[in-house]
Amino acid sequence: MFAQEKNIATGKLHYDRKEEILFDGKRYKKYNHYLNIGPSFFNSSLRKVSQQGIGIDYHFNIKREYFQAGIAISGNKLFENNQTQLRLGYGYRKETGKYNLAFFGGPTLFTGVYGVQDTSGLYRPEFYQGIGAYLSAQLATKLVYDIGFGAELFSEINYKQGVIGIKLFVFFSGAYRGLKKNFNPHVRSENKK
C-alpha cells in the first residue's frame, strides 16, 4: 500500500521497482529493460560514400531514470568495419501497449581508419580515435507488448566528422511477467481504495 503514497515534496508517487501493469490479460513490468538491434544507414562528412552499419543498444533504468549503452560498427557496406563506436546515453522513455518512444543523448568513444592519398598517388591508412557526442530519437511499434520493430534517427558530432542517419531495429523488452491470475500488489490500479 505504501507504493500509492505520494512524496510530499514532489507530489509524485513513490517508486516501486516491482510495479506491473496489466495488458491483454498478462502482467508486464513497468520499469523494464529493453534491447534493440539492427542495421543503420548514414552520411558522414568524412567519407564520400554513404555508410552502412549494424548496432546493438541495451536500455536500462535506475529507478525512473533511463540509460543506454551500445556499440556499432560501420563501413562502406554492411558488416564492413572502418569505424567502431561505443556510446553511453541518458534519456527519456514513454511506453504504452502499442509503441515505445525514447530520446537519448550522451558521449561516444570511437576509433576508425581513413584512406589518405600521399604524394605518389597511393592511399595509406590514417587511424583516428576520440570522444564525441550523439543524439537519437527512437519509435518502436509493438507486435506484442514486449516485441516489436522500429526506427531511430541519430546524429553524431566529433572532431573528425559529423554523422546523420537512420537505424532500423528489432525491439525486445524484458517486461513479460506471466498471465494475470489473482490480485497483484504491484499493480497500482488494483491497489486503489
Reported pTM: 0.80
Q: Which domains does the chain have, with CATH numbers?
A: 33-178 (2.40.160.20)
DSSP-H helix ranges across the chain: none
Which pLDDT value is given to residue 145?
Answer: 81
- Owner of C-alpha cell 559529423: 162
Which pLDDT value is given to residue 183?
Answer: 63
pLDDT tens column, 102-149:
999 999 999 999 888 888 888 888 899 999 999 999 999 999 888 999
Sign of the C-alpha dihedral, residues 127, 130, 132, 137?
positive
Q: Which of residues 177 and 138 earns the better pLDDT score?
A: 138
Output b/e per residue, 69-100; b: 16+ Cβ within 10 A: ebebbbbeeeeeebbbbebebebebebeeeeb
Q: Measure CA of the first residue to CA of the last residue in the chain; give whole Å.
A: 10
